[in-house]
Amino acid sequence: MSFVRIRRRAAGALVAVLIAATTGSGCFDEPEIEDRWTRVDLDGATILPAGGPAPGAPCSVSVRATITYRAIVTGFSVTELRASSIPPTSVVLGPDADRVLMAASVDSLLARSVTRGRSVRAITGWHHLIQPFDVGFSGTAPAGPDSTGAAQWLYLVSYLGSGEEIELQGGRDSIVVTPFASTTMQILPIGMPVGVGGGMTP
């Protein structure tokens, strides 16, 4: 066997290894979805009373959040308490949760819950912009089971959406926000369970 034929075989083997490596790892280590989609993060949250609001009792919520934009987004940022009969075991929520699974859980939760207090602010962002902000609002814990008799869990969620301003009776203004669908708009909302029946989630 000649030296030339050995070198050709070795070169062919190296090309095969490189193809396998790039195929297995994606397009040269493409960034994770958390680094490609617009992302909402909760940097800190305080809910008072600290032991969790009693059923039907008011509470005070303070949140430090950050939006990291990966595209031009215009709309509204909403941070709110939501009451739902969906138990925490049926959703993927929390600061360390998988962001793609959490986005799907927040989408589902928003469709099957009611607001118990919120903060809404207009936002406009573009790729690379990191926008931190502080919000505070008052909420109320569910007084008891829902109309079907199911226990209600309380969640804190932060998401983006489109909005329309409407005038309420008495001349007050309000904004009706339609949450952006996560996969359609490539946005990663965030949420976490707060409590059930007025108590904090274990």
pLDDT tens figures, 100-156: 999 999 999 999 999 999 999 999 999 999 999 999 999 998 888 888 888 899 999
CA distance linking residue 68 with residue 109, whole number of Å = 22
Judge if 14 and 50 occupy the same domain.
Answer: no
Kindly state the tokens that stand for 170. Answer: 């008495």
Short-list 160, 146, 153, CA closest to 197? 153
CA distance linking residue 98 with residue 106, whole number of Å = 12
Judge if 15 and 80 occupy the same domain.
Answer: no
CA distance linking residue 119 with residue 158, whole number of Å = 9
Domain count, the chain: 2
In the chain, the percentage of residues whose pLDDT exceeds 90 is: 56
Judge if 2 and 39 occupy the same domain.
Answer: no
Q: Summarize the confidence of residues 80-104 as an average pLDDT.
A: 93
Judge if 15 and 87 occupy the same domain.
Answer: no
Judge if 110 and 14 occupy the same domain.
Answer: no
Judge if 3 and 85 occupy the same domain.
Answer: no
Q: Which residues form the domain of 20?
A: 1-30
Judge if 25 and 80 occupy the same domain.
Answer: no
How would residue 194 be classed by pLDDT, with cut points 50, 70 and 90? confident
Total Cβ atoms within 10 A of residue 73: 20
For 4-44, what is each residue's pLDDT tens digit?
443 444 444 434 443 444 444 445 577 889 889 999 999 99
Kindly state the tokens that stand for 153. Answer: 């869990």
Judge if 82 and 4 occupy the same domain.
Answer: no
Q: Do the beta carbons of residue 139 and residue 116 sit within 8 Å?
A: yes
Judge if 116 and 46 occupy the same domain.
Answer: yes
Rounded (10°) CA dihedral 147, 153, 156, 160: -50
Judge if 10 and 77 occupy the same domain.
Answer: no
Judge if 176 and 86 occupy the same domain.
Answer: yes
Q: pTM of the full predicted structure?
A: 0.80
Query: If DSSP codes are grouped into helix, strand and coil, which group holds residue 70?
Result: coil
Judge if 119 and 187 occupy the same domain.
Answer: yes
